[in-house]
Amino acid sequence: MVESMQAFIPDVRVAVESTLMPRWYKEAEALWTDKAKTAMEIWTPERAAEIAAAKKASEAARAAEEAAEAVREQELREAMEDFHVLIEDELPALADTPQ
């Protein structure tokens, strides 16, 4: 396809994208089986829905982990503030006690 089109427009870069599907679907996208994009999977609406659901679940899990991390950071900040208040309140009293 690229070579045939390049003959008509030699000064323009020609590229194509391909997708495997059992029949024409306008919304179809390439589904690669690996990150190196060496093998393609057949696109179907059902498979696309599975991938979308898995992506949504992954994003929800990541958001939950980020929220949990934010809670842990807030708890640590509060514990540090409590510690500083304790030190400010108790340290002068300890300095005044005879040893």
* Percent of the chain surpassing pLDDT 90: 71
Answer yes or no: is pLDDT of 87 > 90: no
Tens-digit pLDDT profile for residues 27-55: 999 999 888 888 999 999 999 999 999 99
Alpha carbons 13 and 18: distance in angstroms, whole number: 17
pTM over 0.75: no
φ and ψ at residue 46, rounded to 5 degrees:
-65, -45
Whether residue 56 is predicted with pLDDT greater than 70 in this model: the reply is yes
